A and B are shown apart, each in its own frame.
Chain A
Amino acid sequence: MARKITYQQAINEALSQEMSRDPRVIIMGEDVAGGAGTDGEDEAWGGVLGVTKGLYKKFGDRVMDTPITESAFIGAAVGAATAGLRPVAELMFIDFMGVCLDQIFNQAAKFRYMFGGKAETPVVIRTMYGAGFRAAAQHSQCLYPVFTHIPGLKVVMPATPYDAKGLLIQAIRDNDPVIFCEHKVLYTLEGDVPEEPYTIPFGEASVVREGKDVTIVTLGRMVHMATEAADNLAKQGIKCEVIDLRTTSPMDEDTILESVENTGRLVVVDEAHPRCNIATDVSALVADKAFDSLKAPIKMVTGPHVPVPFSDVLEDLYIPNAAKIEAAVRLVMGKKN
């Protein structure tokens, strides 16, 4: 039965169902049990924002609190994956990738190729990203383009509770290393989610809204900003097709190109910094493979090339929003031939 639950509950449910289904699935991370070894074990935190709450009580030792030691436990998750487990490691904030990146990009990502196709590393690294929490420069970044750059990794960016559950189950069952990026602002978002386990294949974008005038390619939290913009623009008679990439690696090139071939106009919305991000990647794809379809220059709406600021005024300025997206869409519409 589908019913409305939050993005956070959807993630929790995916973990719980997969742990029930497969004893090889374990969870590890800082405070994922949260309270292991204390008197309050039963009421354990379940993650710094409570995403894994209740799993420790249900699965005991398979939900493992780690010391604050990202290099060791992310590496341990990778090693355990090569040795028969299917670990889901939580890298609390994507910003912390700096202290464990080697284990992700030099080890996990490369094993299969370096070892001649014989290694399987079914590890999932769940991590929180994005601005909007007044969490400043070291807890707010959108670093998924870095992972997207690296062959051997899959990068997943769910925007809705439904996608969060299905993509996480897929990630856990997938035999490659997966970076599963959760936008912290979305945790409280509600949506219809089936109770049963289900999967969503990687590399399949979701067309959130159909339209014939402009293609808006986006991902993560920006899907909701883009949809809001599209709603507003519809009232002005501009029909936007909103594409949620859902995964940046693999990326659903066909859906992007098909749409741009229909609309002839592209706006790409990405919360990440503007250099070498998903917006530039999608723009390059379209410029390379569908240039002749374009009726107007491509516009990118992204965060600026500055660290994420702390003060609310500044952070709000930083984050792309519906108004900026609408402006970009109107701009590409204005260049109609």
Chain B
Amino acid sequence: MSESIKALTMPKWGLSMKEGKVASWLMQEGTSISPGNEVLEVETEKISSAVESSEGGVLRRIVAQEGETLPVGALLGVIAGANDTSEAIDAFVAEFQKNYVPPADDDHDSGPKTQVIEVKGRAIRYLRQGDGGTPLILIHGFGGDLNNWLFNQESLAAKRTVISFDLPGHGQSSKQVGNANFGELTQVVYDVMDALSVPKAHLAGHSMGGAIAIDMALAHPGRVASLTLIAPAGLGPEINGGYIDGFIEATGRRDIKPHLEQLFANAELVSRQMINDILAYKRLDGVDAALRALRDKIFPGGKQATVLREKLGSLSMPIQVIWGEGDAIVPAKQAQGLPASVKVHVLKGAGHMPQMEAAAEVNKLIEAQLG
């Protein structure tokens, strides 16, 4: 069997994904593909996204038809050399299907699992994937959790250890937020690094997590190898206070949906499952108080209380800023006028969640910075 024949399979985005639906093929059979090209769109309960090819070659065979729902790992298409015979490809498909076993319904024993560590009296949930290199730590934003990185972590973990975790008051970590300011949250990053024996890490922070990453780099520059700031807070006073308040006050599906739609350039990405997950989070004891405390300290009166913009220039590690052009939460114009040492990437067609809406591009930019 030719080594040039490769399978394109249903990806696993996040821990809970079991299956995906083929929404549309972005390329036709016979198209030449480079690694990283987006080949098709897949919808999951949580979100839709493009599937990138990690291989180069020709899209020789489309196996999964549009509208079909398939389990993780199922064969979607075949990428091969232009010279591989149709028979060889037929044989490859037959062989794949013969050996393919869909993941068991109860997949608790397989794949990466989140873990919990106790950090100064708080339980912190984290997910460690990959191995080696200087680790990359992913810091989510206000109201988010480690699942915000579901399109990024696995891909980035191919070359290094990648750790995502839930900030206090978020996800499945303890809901006590203490002083609820950057000092408190930065200390948590520091403590998590200690607890996981990470002396130095690349930090990627989204939104409020971006500001935490900057604060960490300012406080402990020796432990930060680089910064990737995605739609970060901390670079200007403006923020969409209506979104913050709406997110906190909303109690049901109907009232939270319009707020969540502001996160994305494409509002249709807000699926029912995403709404349900956020509501389930918000309904945990302690979350409401935590969110309000953070809002009152970090975003009081619909403004950002702390602007670290001027201090970026003092940092010596590589810094890049990635912003969605259509960000309705933290305006992309805050990306302008930053010190020359800071690389700025404003992505078209993305809103406040570029790591989800433009995952391939964001992953590429992070890879590039981390080298």
- B283 touches A (CB below 8 Å): yes
Q: Are B251's CB and A201's CB within 8 A?
A: yes
- A254 touches B (CB below 8 Å): yes
Task: Return 19 A-B CB contacts under 8 Å, by A number.
Answer: A1-B114, A1-B123, A1-B125, A1-B172, A2-B172, A4-B106, A194-B280, A197-B284, A197-B285, A198-B280, A198-B285, A199-B283, A200-B283, A201-B251, A201-B252, A204-B252, A206-B276, A207-B272, A254-B254
Please give the residue numbers on chain B whose beta carbons come within 8 Å of chain A beta carbons, in ascending order: 106, 108, 114, 116, 123, 125, 172, 175, 251-254, 272, 276, 280, 283-286
**Interface 1/0s, chain A 1-33, versus B by CB < 8 A?**
110100000000000000000000000000000
CB-CB under 8 A from A2, the residues of chain B are 172
Q: Are A210's CB and B283's CB within 8 A?
A: no
CB-CB under 8 A from B284, the residues of chain A are 194, 196-198
Q: Are A166's CB and B172's CB within 8 A?
A: no
> Which residues from 188 to 219 on chain A have a C-beta closer than 8 Å to any C-beta of chain B?
194, 196-201, 204, 206-207, 210
CB-CB under 8 A from B285, the residues of chain A are 196-199
B277 to chain A, nearest CB (A): 11
Assembled-state Cα–Cα distance A210/B251 (Å) = 21
Q: Are B283's CB and A204's CB within 8 A?
A: no
B285: nearest residue on chain A (CB-CB)? Answer: A197
**Top 8 closest pairs, chain A to chain B, by CB:** A197-B285, A198-B284, A198-B283, A196-B284, A1-B172, A199-B283, A204-B252, A196-B285
B173: nearest residue on chain A (CB-CB)? Answer: A1
CB-CB under 8 A from A162, the residues of chain B are 280
CB-CB under 8 A from B252, the residues of chain A are 201, 204
A3: nearest residue on chain B (CB-CB)? Answer: B108
A1: nearest residue on chain B (CB-CB)? Answer: B172
**Interface 1/0s, chain A 202-238, versus B by CB < 8 A?**
0010110010000000000000000000000000000
Assembled-state Cα–Cα distance A108/B283 (Å) = 28
- Residue in contact with B283 in the complex, picked from A4, A166, A206, CB distance below 8 Å: A166
A298 to chain B, nearest CB (A): 24
CB-CB under 8 A from A207, the residues of chain B are 272
With A1-B172, A204-B252 given, can you name 13 additional A-B contacts, CB distance below 8 Å? Answer: A1-B116, A4-B108, A162-B280, A166-B283, A194-B172, A194-B280, A196-B284, A196-B286, A197-B285, A201-B251, A201-B283, A206-B276, A207-B272
A2: nearest residue on chain B (CB-CB)? Answer: B172
B44 to chain A, nearest CB (A): 13
Q: Are A210's CB and B272's CB within 8 A?
A: yes
CB-CB under 8 A from A196, the residues of chain B are 172, 175, 284-286
CB-CB under 8 A from A1, the residues of chain B are 114, 116, 123, 125, 172
